[in-house]
């Protein structure tokens, strides 16, 4: 690679490079805010529009040798956010490709914080695809020569708990969640990255309930998932509500499931997370056809299916586990 810029990409230190860096960083803030309020369906549309307007933002990492580290770091962060949005929008293959791009850009720029978040996101995707061993391998790459900051370490332990639960390793999963709680209670450290803002009490509670649900400890899972699902927070936490409904249905808690659907259905059409709507559709389909469920619960399930966004009423061609972390 020479010092010359590739065609269509700004040279090092040029004004165009600076403006592209500014555009990428502004886009990160806009996409995160849109995802938190309107969900991944809206955010993925914005990602596509952004890349049509500025295709340089999607240049291959190998083509960016002439770019400065600030631009590479901004593009890495944008790719990480895009990867998360693609995943929550149900576009798993595209999300995996974007994660690899984010990781390559972060490594080129020396942005360890973004590299860590990307690996943690990729671990979540692998768990969602029921590939727990690969998920654990991705998490193992987060560690470095120095101890991890508290909130980063918390998320590492949560990811390990989910993968261990999927493997059926109850003792390991519970130990990881206990350690995650301990690190979280130590509070954020000055070394925790800006992206760790969303690792809070409801998030940790929801993941704890989720892990318990995977381990079939439904009573405790339901209590924790209810606590997380009813706490205010970003739109993607509707996924905890989907997991709560699944746990209630598996436990035969028909009245509670019916009440949850009654509260959820009026706003179901506006849920922007495809992961969430697919999970709700799977549970509602099972509940609607459950011969042991009372008629009212089956009618409620049918109402929920009809209330979901039309393009997501059907199940995905290849069903995937609902047991994947929220964020």
Over residues 125-136, the pLDDT tens digits come to: 999 999 999 999
pLDDT at 124 exceeding the cut of 50: yes
Would you list the domain boundaries of the chain?
Answer: 14-110, 200-327
User: What pLDDT does residue 327 have?
Assistant: 62
- Other CB atoms within a 10 A radius of the CB of residue 191 amount to 13
Asked if residues 159 and 139 have their Cβ atoms less than 8 Å apart, the reply is: yes
Average the pLDDT over 294-305 and give the result.
Answer: 96
User: What pLDDT does residue 258 have?
Assistant: 97
pLDDT at 263 exceeding the cut of 70: yes
User: What pLDDT does residue 13 have?
Assistant: 40
Helix, strand or coil, per DSSP, at residue 272: coil
CA-to-CA separations, 172 to 56, 125, 211, in angstroms, rounded: 44, 20, 11
User: What pLDDT does residue 183 have?
Assistant: 97
Position with higher pLDDT, 166 vs 56:
166
- φ, ψ of residue 144 in degrees (nearest 5): -135, -170
pLDDT at 16 exceeding the cut of 60: no
Task: From 87, 160, 163, 161, select the one nearest 118 (Cα to Cα).
Answer: 87
CA-to-CA separations, 317 to 85, 182, 198, 314, 320, in angstroms, rounded: 20, 40, 32, 9, 9
User: What pLDDT does residue 285 have?
Assistant: 97
- Tell me the C-alpha distance between 294 and 86, whole Å: 38
Convert the pLDDT of each residue in 193-252 to its tens digit. 988 988 999 999 999 999 999 999 999 999 999 999 999 887 778 999 999 999 999 999
Position with higher pLDDT, 143 vs 13:
143
Q: Is 175 exposed, middle or buried (0-12, 13-18, 19+ CB in 10 A)?
A: middle
- φ, ψ of residue 65 in degrees (nearest 5): -60, -25
- Other CB atoms within a 10 A radius of the CB of residue 44 amount to 25
Mean pLDDT of all residues belonging to the chain: 87
CATH code for the structural domain at 200-327: 1.25.40
CA-to-CA separations, 285 to 119, 229, 266, 280, in angstroms, rounded: 33, 21, 18, 8
Secondary-structure breakdown of the chain: helix, strand, coil percentages, each rounded to the nearest 5: 70, 0, 30
Confidence of residue 65 (pLDDT cuts 50, 70, 90): low
User: What pLDDT does residue 60 have?
Assistant: 78
pLDDT at 313 exceeding the cut of 90: no
- Maximum CA pair distance of the chain? 71
Average the pLDDT over 298-314 and give the result.
Answer: 82
Asked if residues 15 and 71 have their Cβ atoms less than 8 Å apart, the reply is: no
How remote is the C-alpha of 123 from its chain's centroid? 10
């Amino acid at each position: 690679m020479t010092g010359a810029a590739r065609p269509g990409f700004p040279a090092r230190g040029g004004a165009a490079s600076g403006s592209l860096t500014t555009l990428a960083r502004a886009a990160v803030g806009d996409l995160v805010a849109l995802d938190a309020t309107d969900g991944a369906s809206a955010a993925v549309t914005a990602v596509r529009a952004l890349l049509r307007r500025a295709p340089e933002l999607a240049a291959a990492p190998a083509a960016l040798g002439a770019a400065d580290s600030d631009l590479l770091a901004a593009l890495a962060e944008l790719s990480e956010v895009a990867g998360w949005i693609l995943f929550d929008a149900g576009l798993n293959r595209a999300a995996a490709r974007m994660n690899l791009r984010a990781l390559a850009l972060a490594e080129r720029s020396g942005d360890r914080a973004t590299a860590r978040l990307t690996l943690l996101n990729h671990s979540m995707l692998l768990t969602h695809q029921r590939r727990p061993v690969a998920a654990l391998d991705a998490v193992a790459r987060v560690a470095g020569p120095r101890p991890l900051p508290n909130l980063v370490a918390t998320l590492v332990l949560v990811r390990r708990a989910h993968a261990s639960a999927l493997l059926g390793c109850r003792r390991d999963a519970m130990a990881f969640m206990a350690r995650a709680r301990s690190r979280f209670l130590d509070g954020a450290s000055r070394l925790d990255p800006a992206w760790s803002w969303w690792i809070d009490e409801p998030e940790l509670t929801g993941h704890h309930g989720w892990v318990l649900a995977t381990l079939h400890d439904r009573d405790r899972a339901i209590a924790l998932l209810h606590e997380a699902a009813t706490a205010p927070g970003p739109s993607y936490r509707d996924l905890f509500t989907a997991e709560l409904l699944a746990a209630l249905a598996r436990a035969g808690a028909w009245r509670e499931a019916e009440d949850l659907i009654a509260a959820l259905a009026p706003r179901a059409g506006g849920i922007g997370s495809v992961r969430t709507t697919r999970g709700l559709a799977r549970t509602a389909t099972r509940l609607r056809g459950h011969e042991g469920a009372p008629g009212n619960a089956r009618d409620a399930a049918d109402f929920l299916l009809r209330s979901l966004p039309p393009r997501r009423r059907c199940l995905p061609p290849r069903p995937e586990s609902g047991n994947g972390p929220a964020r």
